[in-house]
Structure 1
């Protein structure tokens, strides 16, 4: 399912991803900065760590931001979309991070099935996966590759879009605020909604994490439909 969802992120969508994501998510920079701070707080400032970044394609923002805060972290970047991974590679090279990052074009399931990582991130991915089974599968795959107690940063849209018409309207206003006309606003909104299947509530996010081998999450960021949480891999088998 992750491979199927990656089909949406073709060369045309990858080309404008960095700009569009910053508009679609008000607080884009702050969310990534806080995600890095949460991981550093959970792991201990200045520690060495191996961090798995699932869905790293695009600007590799998770890695660029975290690497500046923690020089002893090393990263494994995974994404099934070749155009998105090409963009990530370019940003890693620009920031001198290619030597600290292993790049894997594929899914988390393509990695060795062992508890090798001290932390992981899954940012902007879960709401693109159709159905709970696909969402649970990627979370289980991450849990199986994390050491017990290791933190996961999960960030995604949650709540059914149609259930929150005011938030959906505000989303459109966000695009208008950036200079988009009425037709462009509708086109942008349609692209965001294309194939999206966000968890219907914050409780459903917590349930998916629990069912996948994680302890209860702590939310640290919210913006319209978007939420970001830290959850630790629970002891015992994932």
Structure 2
């Protein structure tokens, strides 16, 4: 059964939101580096010190992409969209701690819920695609983002991009990553079982590229990789 936006959001309940920052930094080696580089890639694409409005899709949890972009570009403003109320609240707490709430508009819901005439200079979609079941849902969120971007605006896409079971060495290394951070053998086994059942990532980098092409974006440049994870910058085609 394919997940709807609602039950995808339900995966990120209060318990998961509360542990998201710590868990993400273990699961993704280089979590903060990826967010920092995403900010650098957008800044390089848009031009230094240019004022910009940035759409951040799936912003809940750490809000780290906003924090990284805001530190690099003090004139940028952000619209943060997330369908999970606990995750968006967790992001709001991080933004408040970093004095960024005044620069950020928070929207509980989906990109489709934004006003049709709202347009943005750039967007990010980080850690989202692999939580959406099937290519139809993945293309839909990309197409919805495209509809709100200005011509040739850049988009950052980041997430897991292998069928997990197809990469046994990477999966074993991922388990060792948890052991490295103190997980017991039983906890590692539970984590591996959860990743095998809990997401539907694109099955290759080529599949990610095809999804972006199908949604109206151009060729993407990969700028970060960590085990199953990749991050790319693409642009809206005219």
TM above 0.5, yes or no, is yes
Look up the match of 2:30.
27
In structure 1, how many angstroms separate the alpha carbons of the residues matched to 2:91 and 2:133? 24
Choose the corresponding residue for 2:105, options 86, 95, 102.
Answer: 102
Displacement over 4 Å in runs of 4+:
none
Aligned-pair CA distance for 1:100 = 0.2
Q: Does 1:208 align with 2:211?
A: yes
Aligned-pair CA distance for 1:152 = 0.3
Aligned-pair CA distance for 1:186 = 1.8
Aligned-pair CA distance for 1:193 = 3.4
Structure 1: gaps (5+ residues):
none
- Residues 175-228 of structure 1: CA distance to partner in whole angstroms, max 9, x if unpaired? 001111101112223333343000011011000000001011110000000000
Aligned-pair CA distance for 1:4 = 2.2
The answer to whether the 8 A contact 2:165-2:196 is kept is: no
In structure 1, how many angstroms separate the alpha carbons of the residues matched to 2:158 and 2:79? 18
The answer to whether the 8 A contact 1:158-1:200 is kept is: yes
Look up the match of 2:228.
225
Structure 1 window deviating more from structure 2 (6-15 vs 126-135): it is 6-15
Per the normalisation by structure 1, the TM-score is 0.97
Secondary structure of the residue that 2:149 maps to in structure 1? coil
Aligned in 2, Cα 1:156/1:212: closer, same or farther, shift over 3 Å? same
Structure 2: gaps (5+ residues):
none
Look up the match of 2:80.
77
Structure 1 window deviating more from structure 2 (1-10 vs 162-171): it is 1-10
The answer to whether the 8 A contact 1:18-1:59 is kept is: yes
The answer to whether the 8 A contact 1:130-1:195 is kept is: no
Secondary structure of the residue that 2:230 maps to in structure 1? strand
Per the normalisation by structure 2, the TM-score is 0.97
Aligned-pair CA distance for 1:115 = 5.8
Secondary structure of the residue that 1:215 maps to in structure 2? coil
Secondary structure of the residue that 1:26 maps to in structure 2? coil
- Residues 68-123 of structure 1: CA distance to partner in whole angstroms, max 9, x if unpaired? 00000000000000110110010011100000000000000000123610000000
In structure 2, how many angstroms separate the alpha carbons of the residues matched to 1:198 and 1:168? 14
Secondary structure of the residue that 2:201 maps to in structure 1? coil
1:1-238 correspondence runs (5 A): 1-114=4-117, 116-235=119-238
RMSD of Structure 2 on Structure 1 (CA): 0.9
The answer to whether the 8 A contact 1:36-1:65 is kept is: yes
Aligned residue-pair number: 235
In structure 1, how many angstroms separate the alpha carbons of the residues matched to 2:18 and 2:114? 27
The answer to whether the 8 A contact 1:115-1:147 is kept is: no
The answer to whether the 8 A contact 1:114-1:144 is kept is: no
